[in-house]
């Protein structure tokens, strides 16, 4: 579906868990301009890769899911975010 809409799929993976890199890479390659960044243990280049993926301007709308452990909450949004409700 992303290919038909011309939307790139970027996957930024970090941490100590295994990922299915061949499947994710194929999915990213099938989308126009999609990229796969894999950072074992959240390497030094993880922040710059995540920043690059989040600052790309493609598509009409997008979703960023941010998941936190119980008891934590997202306190601040930074960057070019449009359409957020005023607080």
pTM for this one?
A: 0.52
pLDDT at 86 > cutoff 60:
no
How high is the pLDDT of residue 46?
82
DSSP state of 46: H
Cross-strand pairs, 12: 37
What does the radius of gyration of the chain's CA atoms come to, in whole angstroms?
A: 15
Of 20-24, 27-31, 36-40, 71-75, least confident by mean pLDDT is: 71-75
Task: Assign residue 4 a region (left: φ > 0; alpha: ψ between -120 and 50; beta: otherwise).
Answer: alpha
Give the residue carrying structure tokens 């920043």. Answer: 51
Token pair, residue 19, equals 């990922």
């Amino acid at each position: 579906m992303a290919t038909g809409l011309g939307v790139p799929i970027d996957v930024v993976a970090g941490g100590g868990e295994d990922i299915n890199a061949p499947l994710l890479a194929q999915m990213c390659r099938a989308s126009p301009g999609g990229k796969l960044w894999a950072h074992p243990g959240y390497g030094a280049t993880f922040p710059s890769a995540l920043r690059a993926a989040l600052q790309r301007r493609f598509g009409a709308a997008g979703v960023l899911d941010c998941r936190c452990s119980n008891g934590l909450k997202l306190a601040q949004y930074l960057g070019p975010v449009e359409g957020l409700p005023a607080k």
